[in-house]
Structure 1
């Protein structure tokens, strides 16, 4: 290879000399054309990604750039020299066409991005427009927490609609966003890339880190999955060293954007770099699927790039032989049908229809969500973590009343055992989710770690019998842990059987005064975010979900006044706090006042109510209303709804409000 380069360079010099000498056998146009056919001398070689999914066949996605940072094109197999663990790999082929690429666009939508949000949307749209029809994209935004607003799709219009809908609010959970972006690829194979844009550093608003994950966690995950991160730092308040490290150690590239006006050009440049990658393929002489790391070096001329990959791990080879099957014994004769007990099931399992109504906190809504407590699995991505070590409350609603016999708790998570929950209480109610609770159990959970080699069998699961107890609503209190900085728990089960008794409908014989047939309507509101998808009128449209919620302009108390066509008796009220935004913005303390005298006088309180914000709820599934029976029925012609406070967010939001009267 070196000899070829020297020969070409010598021939070029000879032609140049002929021109200078005006020799009749050489022509300037011929020598210039020859020079233009040669690749520009590279100054940087970067292995962006190593795909070992078809091991031992290895694919390398490589960028070769000149001194100006432009992609060097036109290289052939003979221009690349590849070694793996210091052993030359041959033959190495260069593909003539690149496969499709899966991109996660990660956009900072914290409050500081408000002035740049228009340019950000334009830049992201530019990247989407440049994608090929077969390329897939996923859109993630982040402020207080990461949120996937468009899952992987090749539908460009769907991605652009999601981009257009983003808004800037909140703080900056940078590391959590990068980590979740890596995890979002799941089992996807092939070419992958993350493009991350931020204008700040990981910050909770008080100059302290907001993310639970650290920079090291993100880099470790990126290396293990071999996913490059192209990081864009916008403005002057960024931590440039962090972004450079994130990009360089993952196989990506860092771009500085002094102004949001530069973003579109940077996204075009990233698209061009991905388009200009080389796909190198070779068959490694390794045969061991042992999960070990291997270093690959690619040389082009005098420039070198290197990256590591992890060989696949053969689970069958790594697992110990299965224990011998124990001798089977004849099953005992079945009990008589007259005295047979109902089969015991885990009534708390999500598969049974249990919903989480409230949690004090959860670290995120994915691999550390409260929903993981009832997914009937433990291990990576199947544990619950709070945001800190303070006591936690989790409220569950069963699909119907059950008779409980025992509680099963598995503290196992993949993190340190000093974070595992220690003292746990179980409270139950058949009255409602807000009152009537009695203590059913108080237990101490052992935190001895035992690693099971069979993921279907847990060695840390602990069973606690409880007196036979009826329950429809379950409150789990995690009182403390073993000294760690977060309270964590792997799984909780309640064994029992469902009651056959028919449950009464609390709203039987009642009608919503804001229904079309009853004619209640809005008369006044002190604040609303806009007159469309966050308008006060959405509170009584009978719907919850995207475009069907109410939001104020800030998080200050709100007053909303309703008028009824005539004086009516109000016996119940119902609220659905659900909106598609951060649950810390959902209303928490609300009050209902009524008057028969007029819209400005004679109001008396009918009750103050505390709403649960249902963290971890699936935004694609409807949620039940939170229903309250008034202590005393009241007469009303005018109803005033007061939203006193939320769960700490920057806006006051509510999904739906209803008031009920006996049917005429």
Structure 2
């Protein structure tokens, strides 16, 4: 709420000139200043009222950010307050993952050889919400711009893989839609914003030249921070690309808290996993499971790296998928604003002659409250 304030930065000195005036002139001048003061005081409430009048602005109630665990949240992970037009955007934690009047579901289709399938039509798809079939109202497969967050592992175990990881991220961005915007978060003991939203690949490339690997792995904190950062994204479609080589061993947020945040968002997660098959710790051995679960929950995918030389090709493949998704839109038959989880299932009946195809889509969304 804006506050109207009058500052006395400019002072008008009238006492020195009054000495040279007669009594009648002094009385007239004093009367003039008294009237002016009364008029000014009368105007203040009206001006302030015009600023706060509910008819002049839209109030969007935004629930408070989720409280951090008792151990404290990583620096920068706290959700900033939303005001003005930013409050109208869908955001993680708002319990509104999608517009209840039109639910949009991005869908990726792959064949048995894990290749992208394009060219399908609207009548090949069927959408179900809570096991009830929905009528598809909109269908597109256009290359719409995306807001993308890069979550880059900078823990000590990434030292020998850092150059490959950096190059694959740059290849990903260079093959993206020219209208995409990006931010980069690096993490080891804690997440840190390396580059804020920008469309300049050159700026990000320059910043990535300065990063160094070391310390432990706060993967969950970094993903939570990335979801929170998406609150300021300008595009309707949003995605995170996570590049990591192991499980979490440093985060303050728990797996359950991050999964809840992921479910409440409309952000797809893609992962490039560089895993050690002989990982010595439980956290490292569980790394592939964690990233795979988070990715599939959102309709994204995890790609396992067996050869570091393949990282660039994998990054380009993910970029291609984001540019060739089908987006299905439907009006839910249930319009109740109860804040409950609604399960979404996309089924595909492909044209005859095609092999069995796999559907990748988010598993559901939270209905809005009230």
1:198 deviates by 1.1
Equivalent runs, 1:605-624 vs 2, <5 Å: none
Q: Is structure 2 residue 294 aligned with structure 1 residue 246?
A: yes
2:127 equivalent in structure 1: 82
TM-score (norm 2): 0.65
Q: Is the counterpart of residue 262 in structure 1 residue 310 in structure 2?
A: yes
Post-superposition CA distance 1:413-457 (Å, at most 9, x none) = xxxxxxxxxxxxxxxxxxxxxxxxxxxxxxxxxxxxxxxxxxxxx
**Partners of 2:117 and 2:313 in 1: how far apart?**
19
Q: 1:217 maps to which residue?
A: 257
Aligned to 1:287: 335
1:417-432 to structure 2, matched below 5 A, reads none
State the shift of 1:187 in Å.
Answer: 4.9
Give the alignment of 1:311-326 within 5 angstroms.
311-314=367-370
Q: What are the residue-to-residue correspondences of 1:192-207 with 2, within 5 Å?
A: 192-203=238-249
Partners of 1:231 and 1:246 within 8 A in 2: no
- Equivalent positions of 1:91-110 (< 5 A) are 91-110=136-155
Stretches (4+) displaced over 6 A:
none
Q: Any conservation in 1 of the 2:299–2:362 contact (CA below 8 Å)?
A: no
Offset, 1:96: 4.3
Alpha carbons 2:154, 2:186 under 8 Å: kept? yes
User: Cα offset for 1:247?
Assistant: 1.9
Higher strand share: 1
Corresponding residue for 2:103?
58
CA distance in 2, matches of 1:306, 1:120: 27
Question: Which residue is equivalent to 1:161?
Answer: 206
Kindly provide the CA deviation profile for residues 575-621 of structure 1, in whole angstroms up to 9, marking residues without a partner as x: xxxxxxxxxxxxxxxxxxxxxxxxxxxxxxxxxxxxxxxxxxxxxxx
Equivalent pairs, count? 258
**1:148 corresponding residue in structure 2:** 193
- Deviations 1:43-91, CA, capped at 9 Å, x for gaps: xxxxxxxx95433111110011100111111111111111222222224
Give yes or no for the alignment of 1:233 onto 2:262: no
Give 1:226 shift. 2.9
Higher gyration radius (CA): 1
Task: Kindly indicate whether residue 365 of structure 2 is the aligned counterpart of residue 309 of structure 1.
Answer: yes
- Which sections of structure 2, spanning at least 5 residues, go unmatched? 1-95, 350-355
Change (3 A) 1:61 1:287: same
Aligned position for 1:300: 348
Q: Distance in 1 between matches of 2:189 and 2:141?
A: 43
Sort the Cα spacing of 1:54 and 1:243 in 2 relative to 1 into closer, same or farther, 3 A: closer
Give per-residue Cα distances to partners, 1:208-245, cap 9 Å, x unaligned: xx111122221111111132221222141343222222
Kept in 2: contact 1:125–1:163 (CA 8 A) = no
- Secondary structure, aligned partner of 1:271: helix
Distance in 2 between residues matched to 1:267 and 1:228, nearest whole Å: 15
Q: Deviations over 1:543-575 (max 9, x none)?
A: xxxxxxxxxxxxxxxxxxxxxxxxxxxxxxxxx
Q: Tell me how far apart the structure 2 counterparts of residues 187 and 283 of structure 1 sit (CA, whole Å).
A: 26
In structure 1, the residue corresponding to 2:339 is in which secondary structure? coil
1:212–1:265 distance in 2 versus 1, CA, 3 Å: same
Higher relative contact order (CA 8 A, sep 6+): 2
Q: Hey, what's the Cα distance between the residues in 1 that align with 2:209 and 2:177?
A: 20
Whole-angstrom CA distance in 2 between matches of 1:252 and 1:96: 16
CA RMSD, aligned part only?
Answer: 2.0
For residues 93 and 293 of structure 1, the distance between their equivalents in structure 2, rounded to whole angstroms, comes to 23
Q: 1:104 to 1:91 in 2, by over 3 A?
A: closer
**Residue 185 of structure 2 contacts residue 193 of structure 2 at CA under 8 Å; is this kept in 1?**
yes
Output the CA distance in 2 between the equivalents of 1:201 and 1:296: 29
In 2, Cα distance between equivalents of 1:119 and 1:306: 30
Contact 1:64 1:71 in 2 (8 A): yes
Task: Mark the CA change 1:91 to 1:201 in structure 2 (over 3 Å): closer, same or farther.
Answer: closer
